[in-house]
Amino acid sequence: MYCVRCRQKTPNSGKSITKMASNGRRYMQTNCSLCGGKKTQFVSSKKGGTVAEAVTAVAKLADPISKSIITASQNARVRRRARQENIIKSRLKEQKMRPGRRRRLKAKLAGIQALRKKLGEY
């Protein structure tokens, strides 16, 4: 299961408990083995079943879920850096600007471009 505190998929410690939420959905609750925090995840809404079945269902789902979360957040960061770079480039095209402001913008742009080259976004 994915731990929000550790921001990664971590093994469970102790036993897993299946409970019913106030809206009628079942969820599994366990503890993170690294930080000790509570981890919660909704499980299949099928009637019946055992806790072991719920644990295996969550284990099957956890890996693609954590990868998609990481991929989505990485894509958001890439888009944000590209947007910042475009905004700074458009501001530098303005004719009337104090020299100190222009220098600071150029330094910020150089920092963003260096980071993007380092991360292989170009």
Q: Which of 72, 86, 91, 93 is nearest to 116 (CA)?
A: 86
Pair 18, 64 in one domain: yes
Determine the structural domain holding residue 67 and report its residue range: 2-72
Q: What is the domain count for the chain?
A: 2
Is the predicted pLDDT of residue 12 greater than 70, yes or no? yes
Pair 32, 60 in one domain: yes
Pair 44, 56 in one domain: yes
Pair 17, 66 in one domain: yes
Is-above-0.75 flag for pTM? no
Pair 24, 47 in one domain: yes
pLDDT at residue number 75: 78
pLDDT digits (tens, 9 = 90+) for 75-88: 788 888 889 999 99
Pair 57, 110 in one domain: no
Q: How many CA atoms lie within 13 A of 68 on its CB side?
A: 5
Pair 63, 9 in one domain: yes
pLDDT digits (tens, 9 = 90+) for 49-105: 666 666 666 666 555 555 555 566 777 888 888 899 999 999 888 878 888 988 999
